[in-house]
Every structure is written in structure tokens, then in C-alpha cells.
Amino acid sequence: MKKSEEQREVNPKPMAEEGRPEVEDFLDLRPRRLLEYIGQGRVVETLEIAIEAAKKRGEPLDHILFHSPPGLGKTTLAHIIATEMGVQIVTSSGPAIEKGGDLISILTHLEKGDVLFIDEIHRLPKIVEEFLYPAMEDFCIDFIFDKGAHARSHRYRLERFTLVGATTRAGLLSAPLRERFGILRNLDFYTLEELGRVVK
């Protein structure tokens, strides 16, 4: 997997356009806490309750799936979740994770409580999904060595993490993957009043 496709982000800064001076970090313009987030009232309320409960239990959040048309705040919410939980976020996308080995490389480098954000999660190849099922459910992955009669497997324990998936086409997600998310939320379009507050 290309390093440019996957990032571990704490205070990520976008690359400046070639030939132009570096612009101010656009993430500084995004809300960093749920209290600062405008719109999506029902989603924010759900996240507030889930985050508070997870902190009291001392455990990571349930896996979360956001679905909506583009531009409604799925990526921003993933970063806010990591901030609220006091953990790091690792970002990737469905098209960037081409094979099981790509996913395994990401999962085995996650630290306790990390948020793994996969954008366009509906575009994950089926073979990659099969590695994701035990990782989401039991926080482990199975390595298969050799083939045929000599094949043997080894189970590797992962750190407990939270997967945040984002999709614009929820109908393309397979049922087994969708069912492994504990929290599924659709993001609504902004109202005119909310858009006015965003642009201020």
C-alpha cells in the first residue's frame, strides 16, 4: 500500500499546491469538538452518549458507519471522535486497500483505542472484507501459511480499536460488513440556518 494513501494523523496538514505559498491548515477551520460542530443534531447526540459511555467503561467506541451524500461532515466527525476519545486517527480509503496484506499492515500498527477511518468503505474488495470481519468482531486476524495439505493458520491479537466507515452508497455494503457496525447514522443535509452559521 502506498504510504501516501494511508496516514496516521494527529495534527494533519495538507500539502501546499505546487508553485503557491502554503495555505493555512484547512483542518484548523474544522470543528475539533462535538460542541463546536454545527448541524446533525441527532448524530451528535448519539455520539456524545456513546463517547461518554465508552470512557466510563474504559473501552474503545463501538464501530461506527456514517452514510450520506458527499460534503456533509463524515470525515470531520471521524476526526472529532478521535479527539474526544483522546486517541490517534489512522485514515485510508476503500480503493487504497487493494488486498488483505494492505489491511493487515494497517491493523497491526494500530495502538490501543485508535480510530481507523476508512472512506468509501463500500469500495473495499471482498477479500479484504473477509479479513475485516474477525478484526471488527474479535480484534484478531488469522494468518494462513502455506497451501493445500500443508496449510496452517496463526491467530494474531490486535489492539482494540474503533473502525469509522464512511460511504455515499450504503446500499453497496455487504450485509455481513454492515451488521458489524454498532452505530449506523445517516447525515442529513444542512438547513439554511445551519449553513449560515457554518459560513460565518
Q: How many CA atoms lie within 13 A of 46 on its CB side?
A: 17
When divided into structural domains, the chain yields a total of: 1
Instruction: Please provide residue 17's backbone torsions phi and psi, each rounded to the nearest 5 degrees.
Output: -70, 145
Cell of 41: 443534531
Host domain of residue 102:
30-129+162-199
Does the pTM of the predicted model rise above 0.95? no
Q: Is the pLDDT reported for residue 21 higher than 90? A: no
128-159 residue pLDDT tens:
999 999 999 999 998 776 677 777 778 899 99
CATH number, domain at 41?
3.40.50.300
Q: Specify the pLDDT at position 72.
A: 94
Residue 59 lies in a domain: yes
Q: What is the mean pLDDT of residues 93-99?
A: 96
Residue 84 lies in a domain: yes
Q: Is the pLDDT reported for residue 116 higher than 60? A: yes
30 SS3 class: coil
Residue 88 lies in a domain: yes
Q: Is the pLDDT reported for residue 16 higher than 70? A: no
Cβ-based neighbour number of residue 138 at 10 Å: 12
If pLDDT is split at 50, 70 and 90, which confidence band does 24 have?
A: very low
